[in-house]
Amino acid sequence: MKAAVVDHRGAVPVYREVADPVAAQGEAILRVEAVAVENVDRAIVAGQHYTSAPFQAALPAIPCFDGIGRTPGGTLVGFGGLEPPRGALAEYVVVTEGHWAPIPEGIAPEIAAVMSSAITGMSMRTAAELKPGETVLVQGATGVAGRLAVQIARLLGAGRVVATGRDAAALASLAELGADAVITTDVADDDLVRAYRDAAGDGYDVVVDFLWGRPTHLLCESLIPETFALGTPTRLVQVGESAGETFEIPARALRTSGLEIYGAARNLMAGMAEAYGQVVEWVRAGDLVIDVTTMPLSTIAEAWQRTDLRGSRLVIVPDAPVR
């Protein structure tokens, strides 16, 4: 069969022939229908992610560890649990029983492959317990997950949605998704602190943070009251770190602002089924729009290096059959 193979650290995957998979007891061979390529997959291949070690130790290996496939009986399923050197960017995968689940009817494979990005947006409910009418700040709203989070905030009944990002053109497009205000993070520190304060209205109730690093440090600065009055409590959900892995939190930001910080996994297991079901309902109804760009597996080298997608998730699909 054909697969995308990485043979050394940081390499661009190469489309080539590999051995056909063989299922052992308790395993099944699935035909791959769609695989989303995310930043974390590129980071693992580059050896820059905290989970990179098993992949790097198994080289040559096939990237990506979950996707959408079809069982021998024709059922469309989401699968995961692959371990290097096995990966999802192949024509077929061997999956252990219990590591796949049916995809609800009415959800196309390429959309199903990206729905996990929507689940991260649901952390504003599962982790931060967003209530209707509250104000939501989406940090890093121009990426795929961020754009979905803006939509989800509106669908969950947020009273006001503020979105941040560096790309001015992408920020301008967020109004049609439900953003009431946008903040450009590509400005001087003092200007960014002022922008956070100006857009806050009565305060940010929930922050969904895909950035971390400098922008979130300056957000914390903006939450510090300028008088002895205590600030509005803010529940910040840490989701991503595209702007930096660490930053310093001023003690006074915690002491006086009422800032609470949660990881995106807070309450996730207990709320996963409900969150997934809600996302499915929105997608079926057309209320939640997931932007995808599909490319065939044979073009993986080109696809892997694309930098022009701007809020659209790359999804690798099978090559069209030769007629």
Tens-digit pLDDT profile for residues 277-320: 999 999 999 999 999 999 999 999 999 999 998 889 999 999 97
Lowest-confidence pick of 8-12, 210-214, 317-321: 317-321
Residue 284: inside a domain: no
Q: How far is CA 323 from CA 42, 157, 317, 319, 320, in A?
A: 34, 50, 18, 12, 9
Q: What is the CATH number of the domain that holds 48?
A: 3.90.180.10
Q: What is the pLDDT of residue 251?
A: 87
Domain count, the chain: 2
Predicted confidence (pLDDT) at residue 165 exceeds the cutoff of 60: yes
What is the per-residue pLDDT for 310?
Answer: 84
pLDDT attached to residue 271: 84
In the predicted structure, residue 323 carries a pLDDT above the cut 60 = no
Quick one: pLDDT at residue 321? Answer: 66
State whether 141 and 168 are in the same domain: yes
56 with 189, same domain: the answer is no
CB of 268 closer than 8 Å to CB of 129: no
Give the model's pLDDT for residue 320: 75
> Is 10 inside any structural domain?
yes
Which residues are bridge partners to 261 per DSSP? 236
Residues 101 and 143 in one domain: no
Q: Establish if 174 belongs to a structural domain.
A: yes
pLDDT at 253: 83
In a domain, 285, yes or no: no
Instruction: Please tell me the predicted confidence (pLDDT) of residue 322.
Output: 47
Strand 234-238 to 206-209 pairing: parallel
Tell me, yes or no, whether 179 and 308 share the same domain.
no
**136-157 residue pLDDT tens:** 999 999 999 999 999 999 999 9
pLDDT tens, residue by residue, 217-238? 999 999 988 776 666 789 999 9
Q: Which two tokens stand for residue 65?
A: 């560890």
Predicted pLDDT at 231: 65
* pLDDT greater than 50 at residue 74: yes
- Tell me what the mean pLDDT of segment 108-115 comes to: 96
Q: Is residue 87 part of a domain?
A: yes
Shared domain check, 101 and 13 = yes
CA distance 49 to 307: 19
Identify the CA nearest to 123 among candidates 138, 110, 112: 138
pLDDT, residue 311, reads: 87
What is the span of the domain harbouring residue 246? 118-268
178, 79: one domain: no
Contacts for 275 with CB less than 8 Å, ≥ 6 apart: 119, 122, 125, 126, 268
**Contact criterion met (CB below 8 Å) for 66 and 129:** no
Q: What is the mean pLDDT of residues 177-205?
A: 96
Is the pLDDT at 273 greater than 70? The verdict is: yes
Does residue 161 carry a pLDDT above 50? yes
70: tokens are 């079809």
Mean pLDDT over the full length of the chain: 93
Residue 94 forms part of a structural domain? yes
For residue 187, name the pLDDT band (cuts at 50, 70, 90). very high
- 68 and 126 within one domain: no
* 209 touches 90 (CB < 8 A): no
DSSP conformation class of 320: P
- Judge if 144 and 235 occupy the same domain: yes
Q: What is the mean pLDDT of residues 34-58?
A: 94
Could you tell me if residue 274 is inside a domain? no
For residue 34, how many other CB atoms are within 10 A of its CB? 24
Give a yes or no: residue 281 inside a domain.
no
Residue 256 CB partners (closer than 8 Å, separation 6+): 224, 225, 230, 231
**Residue 220 belongs to domain with CATH number:** 3.40.50.720
Does residue 200 sit in the same domain as residue 232? yes
CB-based contacts of 314, cutoff 8 Å, min separation 6: 36, 37, 292, 293, 295, 303, 306
Question: Cα-flanking dihedrals φ and ψ of residue 306, to 5°?
Answer: -70, 140
Q: Are residues 100 and 159 in the same domain?
A: no
- The answer to whether residues 229 and 151 belong to one domain is yes
3-class SS at 114? coil
Say whether both 101 and 132 belong to one domain. no
